[in-house]
A and B are shown apart, each in its own frame.
Chain A
Amino acid sequence: MKLFVINPTNQKVYLNITAPTRGGLAALIDGTRFYLSSHLYNISDVYAEREINNTVAGLVVGGIVGAFGGPIGIIIGGALGGLIGNTSDDNENTKVATFNNSQ
């Protein structure tokens, strides 16, 4: 999970720190406001997003690796990789939702 703000030029800037909730972030920075690239932000400006789409990555890598086992290997490898990635995505989605819904 990565935390980010939208800067005045409408671009995402990621924070080099992370916290499970906005309250946790406030505790970490010892306040509710902070500077990022010389702009002042409030912790309510911070949002979380998933770092990587594990399902897609798992499906592709699993399929390629499975190719060593022939046609069945491609399908089994892809399915297994996708499944492992999907479980990982579910955990990450929960963390992202927890942060974004926090005060």
Chain B
Amino acid sequence: MKKKNKKMNMKLILLTLALFAAAFFSYRGWSTVRILIRMVLESEITYFIAWAVPILIFLVNFVGNKIKDIDSEPMITMRFGKFCDHALGGVAYAIVIVTALVLLKGLFIQTFFGDKIFFVDFKNIDLLTILSIALFLLYSAIRKIIEIAKSTFIIGHTAIVLDEKKKEVKYNG
């Protein structure tokens, strides 16, 4: 157990160092970095990935595993059934990510380039509000996708529990 903690801390230290390195590189070469970020935000591939990855992860989770339930709460809390929860879950996360990216693209270009004005008649406080909600949505949606992807992988080694009479144990989550 101690060995695992040490390994985990090493991972955290390395990641923190990588984060500082990224921040330092971004600080030193901000003019290049902001162009790269703009390219990513304006690229069609980004939006294709943002649509395809969540939908695929949810569908793979459904098709590839015998156990169809999603442990994690779906974004649309209403349950429509196992297939719809997966299909709609993927679409809902894709929409959230794409919306957040589109809002961030507008804010980023307007703030750091100024060659296009996306939000006319918006005050700084309005822009800050949009930025906060877009960052929050993007953060939580990506985290959720990682969680579902990880559970998709784990469910691959999950088996159904049977009692001593070999009857499936009923479980309501």
Contacts and interface: CB of A to CB of B under 8 A. Distances in A.
A44 interface: no
A78 B35 CA distance: 21
A67 B166 contact: no
Interface of B: 8, 11-12, 15-16, 19-20, 22-24, 26-27, 30, 33-34, 37, 67, 69, 71, 104, 107-108, 131, 135, 138-139, 142-143, 146-147, 150-151, 154-155, 157-164, 166, 169, 171
B19 A74 contact: yes
Nearest to A39: B159
Given A13-B157, A70-B26, A61 B171 contact: no
A31 B164 contact: yes
B143 A34 contact: no
B19 A63 contact: yes
B161 A67 contact: no
A63 to B, nearest CB: 5
A37 B159 contact: yes
A60 to B, nearest CB: 7
28 contacts: A12-B157, A15-B159, A16-B160, A17-B171, A30-B169, A34-B161, A34-B162, A34-B163, A34-B164, A35-B164, A36-B162, A57-B147, A61-B139, A61-B146, A62-B139, A65-B135, A65-B139, A67-B37, A71-B23, A71-B24, A71-B30, A74-B22, A75-B20, A75-B23, A77-B135, A77-B139, A78-B16, A78-B19
A20 B138 CA distance: 32
B169 A56 contact: no
Contact of A52 (B26, B135, B147, B158): B147
B159 A29 contact: no
Given A53-B8, A55-B12, A61-B139, A29 B19 contact: no
A74 B67 contact: no
Chain B at the A interface: SS class: helix
Interface of A: 2, 11-18, 28-31, 33-37, 51-53, 55-72, 74-75, 77-78, 81-82
B19 A36 contact: no
Contact of B146 (A14, A35, A57, A75): A57
B169 A28 contact: yes
Given A29-B169, A51-B150, A36 B163 contact: no
Given A15-B158, A55-B12, 17 more contacts: A2-B154, A14-B158, A16-B159, A16-B161, A16-B171, A17-B169, A34-B164, A51-B71, A52-B146, A57-B143, A57-B147, A59-B12, A63-B19, A64-B142, A70-B33, A74-B26, A77-B139
